[in-house]
Amino acid sequence: MYTRVDPGILSRLETIVGPTNVLADPERLASYSRDESPVRTIAHLPEAVVRPRDAAETASVLRLASLERIPVTLRGGGTGLSGGCVPHLGGLVLTVERMNSVLEVDGENQVAQVEAGLTLGEFNKAVEEAGFSFPPHPGDEGAMIGGLISTNAGGSRAVKYGGIRHYVRGLEVVLATGDVLRLGGKLVKSSTGYNLLQLFIGAEGTLGVITRAVIHFLQPLRITRSLVIPFQDIERALEAVPLILRGRSLPLAVEFVGRDVIRAAETYLKKKWPSDLGEAYLLVILDACSEEEMDRLSQETAEACLGRGGLDIQVADTPARQALVLDIRSKIYEAIKEKTVEILDVSLPLSEMAGHVRKVQEVSQRFGIWLPTFGHAGDGNVHTHIMRARLEGGRPVSLPDAVGEEIFEQVREELYRDGQKRGGVISGEHGIGLVKRPFLSYSLDPRQVELMRGIKKAFDPQWILNPGKIFMERSD
């Protein structure tokens, strides 16, 4: 059993972090009750929010929470999509929002040492001002470094530059016991014992609180160009992807998207997508060292797509045109989230994407609901949105009230089963959190989950850190 946060606990927390950094007013707590997941029913108020400034204060908070067995939910920018920072058991929310400094930008070693509450936007700004770049761009600009690491965030550029895991060189982590670990550093290589650093990446805050990180960055991006290629349907678009990836240079990104959601984003932004042809598009972003190389890569990509049913090639080769295309693509969720029930995050072998999309279309027709599907074609990450709507004449129409959760559950079940059959997993970049926890068995067998529970217990004996995220304490 967990302990409630009583006035005595609040007083002790105030002694640790200062009275202004312990929040208990219900109106202020509301903004810490949920993340960006469209699943609204998981929202839950914490009993208090604590805002430590550094590892030392974090350690004191966690020692108190372990002693009293108070659940502690970790929070970064709150931009997650799986309920990972929702305090569903009440207790404390520990936010890293005050740990928001750039401590060092080391150009010689090409790393930056930063605090966990620094936003992605501020991190990119610091790196670019030093004359470098962070190509992955794994999330919302308001996402915080600690959260990006905790979910092993991916993003569209993972096809060439990888996800966040590939850039984390060092971590400062506070365990539930109050012990502080300093893992890795500015090293490129290490074969010195178990790689505990990698264990914390993607652990969703269940093993420790990340307070600082050493992040690798690269030389500035070279010349970039975006190609928009329309196809008759998504299946044909996806069938062209292997040909693109077999070229002499990997694209920076390969995205696929349907005309239905492009229309929604156009309306939302009052902007115009470069093409009206077809019912699906590939957005291919290339980078190169010279205009000559860029022209060659563009030609190779165009030939691969046109040979597989591409209807046209639209080139965005100026900053303004590229910004337009990326803005429309990035705002799709904002345009449709009002009627979104849940966002699936299935990750598949590249060869299975087209088949999975066929299954999505079949399920959509059978249940009479709109299932807009788009995502990262270059790395097999498919985002299907389960909607409280059907599509009529290109416009979403709300479903009757009689269509309830049981329909959405059947849709979710069929699509997860299809992903499992094709060798996929239920999350490529969003994490499990609360929302996907009931479906963990679709990707992991019981022995794997038991081993993970054993690791959790070793790092967090009282089970206070993000309890109930990913899996339950005991077998479900």
pTM greater than 0.85? yes
Fold of domain 338-437: Alpha-Beta Plaits (3.30.70)
Strand duo 48-50 + 92-95: pairing: parallel
Residue 319 to residue 129: CA distance in whole angstroms: 19
Q: Extract the tokens encoding 307.
A: 């040979």
What does the pLDDT average to over 428-457?
Answer: 96
Question: Which range is least confidently modeled, 177-186, 201-210, 218-227, 428-437?
Answer: 218-227
* Averaged pLDDT score across all residues of the chain: 94
Question: Which range is least confidently modeled, 333-347, 380-394, 455-469?
Answer: 380-394
Residue with tokens 């914490």: 46
Residue 430 to residue 409: CA distance in whole angstroms: 19
What does the pLDDT average to over 318-342?
Answer: 92
**Maximum Cα–Cα distance for the chain, whole Å?**
71
Eight-class DSSP state of 400:
P
Are 204 and 436 in contact by the 8 Å Cβ rule? The answer is no
Please report, for residues 270, 288, 314, 425, the alpha-carbon distance to residue 421 in angstroms, rounded to integers and kept in the order given. 40, 38, 36, 10
Instruction: Give the model's confidence band at 394: pLDDT under 50 very low, under 70 low, under 90 confident, else very high.
Output: low
State residue 169's pLDDT score.
98
Instruction: Give the model's confidence band at 474: pLDDT under 50 very low, under 70 low, under 90 confident, else very high.
Output: low
The DSSP annotation for 289-315 comes to SSHHHHHHHHHHHHHHHHTTT----EE
Considering the chain, what percentage of its residues have pLDDT values greater than 90? 89
Please report, for residues 45, 51, 52, the alpha-carbon distance to residue 11 in angstroms, rounded to integers and kept in the order given. 20, 14, 15
What does the pLDDT average to over 315-344?
Answer: 93
Residue 283 to residue 262: CA distance in whole angstroms: 12
Q: CATH for 223-330, among 3.30.70.2190, 2.60.40.1120, 1.20.120.10, 3.40.1190.20? A: 3.30.70.2190
The separation between CA 377 and the C-alpha centre of its own chain, rounded to angstroms, equals 16
The DSSP annotation for 28-88 comes to HHGGGS--S-S-GGG----SEEE---SHHHHHHHHHHHHHHT--EEEESSS--SSSTT--T
Q: Give 137-166 pLDDT, tens digit per residue.
A: 887 899 999 999 999 999 888 889 999 999
As a whole number of Å, the end-to-end CA separation of the chain is: 17
Q: Give 62-88 pLDDT, tens digit per residue.
A: 999 999 999 999 999 999 999 999 999
Are 203 and 433 in contact by the 8 Å Cβ rule? The answer is no
Closest alpha carbon to 79 in 135, 137, 144: 144
Q: Give 15-45 pLDDT, tens digit per residue.
A: 999 999 999 999 999 999 999 999 989 999 9
What does the pLDDT average to over 372-387?
Answer: 96
pLDDT at 97 over 70: yes
pLDDT at 366 over 80: yes
Are 287 and 156 in contact by the 8 Å Cβ rule? The answer is no
Q: Give 255-299 pLDDT, tens digit per residue.
A: 999 999 999 999 999 999 999 999 999 999 999 999 999 999 999
Question: Which range is least confidently modeled, 53-67, 109-123, 198-212, 316-330?
Answer: 316-330
Instruction: Give the model's confidence band at 476: pLDDT under 50 very low, under 70 low, under 90 confident, else very high.
Output: very low
The DSSP annotation for 129-151 comes to HTT-B-TT--S-TT-BHHHHHHT
Instruction: Give the model's confidence band at 395: pLDDT under 50 very low, under 70 low, under 90 confident, else very high.
Output: confident
Residue 119 to residue 137: CA distance in whole angstroms: 12
State residue 475's pLDDT score.
43
Domains of the chain by residue range: 106-216, 223-330, 338-437
Reported CATH class of domain 106-216: alpha beta
Residue 110 to residue 132: CA distance in whole angstroms: 8
Residues 146, 201, 203, CA angle at the centre, nearest 5°? 95
Domains 106-216 and 338-437 share a fold: no
Beta bridge partners of 72: 92, 465
- Residue 379 backbone phi and psi in degrees, to 5: -125, 10
pLDDT at 219 over 80: yes
